[in-house]
Amino acid sequence: MSDKGNAGCMCGAIRLRIEGKPVTVMQCHCSDCQKSSGGGAALIALMRRDDVTLLTGSPEGYSVTGASGGDVRRCFCVSCGAPVYSELGKYPSILAVKLGAWDVDPGLAPDCAIWTASAPPWHHIPADIPSFPKARPAA
Ligand SMILES: [Zn+2]
Ligand SMILES: [Zn+2]
């Protein structure tokens, strides 16, 4: 039980060990992410579920139909309210982990911006990465 992991919520009730490299890192400007983040885009690393271990805590989930039509279960800490990760109904082997969950900057940066059509004019959308008005088209 000495493994404190390398990620978690704000209060420490939820602790995670995250290993491996993300499938992709994105910033999402959809209206649900704005609500969840308090106004900004969500910064998300799509991790293989097998690379994420829940060490302590039991995240609460709030399920929505995502902007792309799939089920999204947004998981957060009931003590501090921090969003930690989302489970994607369409991609059960993936967890969409918030970049802020890592204790130390994991050195990841978004490689695309999605749902920019929903962004207010003051959201920063980097010019040096691809951006898509809605979901990223399937490769
Ligand atoms: Zn917490
Ligand atoms: Zn979003």
The pLDDT tens digits for 61-100 are 999 998 888 899 999 999 999 999 999 999 999 999 999 9
pLDDT at 139: 67
pTM equals 0.94
For the chain, give the percent of residues with pLDDT over 70: 98
What's the 56 CA to ligand 2 centre distance in angstroms? 26
Burial of 44 (0-12, 13-18, 19+ CB in 10 A): buried
Contacts for 138 with CB less than 8 Å, ≥ 6 apart: none
pLDDT at 66: 87
In the structure encoding, which two tokens stand for residue 54, read together? 């829940």
Go through the domains of the chain in sequence order and give each one's CATH number: 7-118 (2.170.150.70)
What's the 37 CA to ligand 1 centre distance in angstroms? 15
What's the 59 CA to ligand 1 centre distance in angstroms? 9
